[in-house]
Structure 1
Amino acid sequence: MGKNDPVKEKAQVKVTKARGGTAVSAKEFLTLKRPKGDLLLEIGREQVSVTSLDRIYWPDEKLTKFDLLCYYLKITDFIMPFLKDRPAILQRYPRGIKAPMFFQQDLESAPAFINTARLVNQEGRQLDYAVYTTTASLLHFVNLGTIEQHQWHSTVKHLDKPDWIAIDLDPKRAPWENVLQVALVVKEVADEIGLCAFPKTSGSSGIHIYFPLKPTNEYEKVAEFAKLLAGEVARRAPKIATVERTIAKRKSTQVYVDWMQNARGKSLASVFTARAKAKATVSMPLTWKQVERGVKITDFTITNAPDLLNKKGDPWATFFDKRQKLKFD
């Protein structure tokens, strides 16, 4: 068994019981007006304890935990295919975006409907990772203060074999227009080698570009491919793109083409996730025409994204239908 392989014995996670209280359906929950305190949210056969619903998460926008839960309820059909059966890296903001955040990878307790995967980390410690399975699991993690969803690039069934490549276009000091232009260079390279690419806003400062894969290659091979792809993008557009990791060595016009997140246990902010950023932005899937025309990070927030998706459709609807094999010629 490899150092990072899942351990066969059952995860040592204490099962917690749902708190008592008034139970409401998802439909009823969405009609509530600024609720306070705690409730039980019925999602299918599960009851999710949702607490401190009036807690402010985005002070400037006066958006609460309730607003965040409503957002995820509204977009669950869009986001769950990208979360389901993947280990979660929980970034918890229990007091909102302007209070301290902490990471949680090792679950000590959880309701019975939360699945876990016991994995051994690089230091040899056994950790019980939370696993996304259903809308109830997602909402439980959100209730813990997990504003953003960060999942592995692979599922528990194929832990060592990612089913997408993720390229992060990180501007730092570079202008936003350069980010858009570098994204189009990524598409140009992808088109030439016959790969289908899907862009999204990061919801923070850049653009993420994903390539759906069949889970046939291990992380090392996928990372090697991503490195070559990023290097070709930087070679074609050296004035605005770079693979230089050291910020001080980059030109102010250069966007960092980051391929290094394609490693086991690493993650980027999920497509459709809310971000713990000003204006409550989300990581929004885009069409390439939108990239060509120009979009802004702040065009998409938890208040308008559900309506936009319902009215204009999901640009990533065919993502998993487009899974492809990498060619190492």
Structure 2
Amino acid sequence: IGRNGAGKSTLLKLLTRTSVPTCGSMETRGRLSALLELGMGSHMDFSGRVNAKMTCQMMGLTTEESHELLPRIAEFSELGDYFDQPMRVYSTGMQVRLAFSAATAVRPEILIVDEALSVGDAYFQHKCIERIRSFREQGTTLLFVSHDPGAVKSLCERALLIEDGVILQDGPSDSVLDYYNARIARASSEEEIRQLEGEDGISTRSGTGNVRIESVEMENRAGETARAFSVGDAAVIRCRVRFRKPMDNPTVGILVRDRMGGDVFGINSFHLGAATPACAPGDTLEAAFSLVLNLGPGNYSLSVAVHPGDSHLIENCDWWDRCLVFQVVPGSGPSFVGLASLPAEVEVKKETS
């Protein structure tokens, strides 16, 4: 991950030998497949079938092996008659379908993907993600460049943050992404970013320091501090903040994430229409969010932020990622799968002829 121009795509081109390094060395082991820039390695006047065969041969497969894989590539790409049409009539989404289907027709030891999937349609993206996950379970190493934090957290346990060709962070995906998000959300050069280690693992704090989140707690329906809840339980998230500088319209927000770091639910006092008083240095403010935990069983993390107005993009005063972790366990209701417990009813009727 990293900003545009950080060197991410350049690194991938070096690893795939499409660019030559000025110094240093690289070593790769095993068959490597890559999806870099759309159209790279393709001939637009040739059909999808011919280009797919060329891709297989560039991966080191023989002519016979490449020919045997063509039906599998055509089936996965779902291009239909377009598979035998020139690529110049393909949309960008169709190019992605062909490129991914050909590059993954045989499971590689190393799979490199550079943002190519972002231009495909949602249906095919899901197919691609499922194939990538299947490859990972079988031992394939995935090197993935993306500006989509959800995709990075879902597909990768480890992340590298690159800036100006230098690795700034290397570690668990959620920690590195929190650090990266804190960097790009900085509103002024005075903002600080710190990574702290606590009971619930490493958390990231960033902000100008004009406001300080002093404590965050979760309470059950009895008003007791708790970290474990049943599906559908009522809970209160209580946040206490102290002001170091005056603020006219302070906003407190919460964000719940799943164990993979995916955003599950976020809300703030501004969007809830809560009237927050102006605060002076030394004042404290308490925000208590009441909600029902209609979440699937599992572990979740909580992040809290304080900023003026609608968004932290105006000024990020204090953003505390993963300030606590809580658990949701099965309740007395019907069993279900997924992240959310949606109220559901079913009516079944038998029709007789």
- TM-score tier, shorter chain, comes to under 0.3
- Larger-gyration structure (1/2): 2
TM-score, normalised via structure 2 length: 0.25
Structure with bigger RCO (C-alpha 8 Å, 6+ apart)? 1
TM-score, normalised via structure 1 length: 0.27
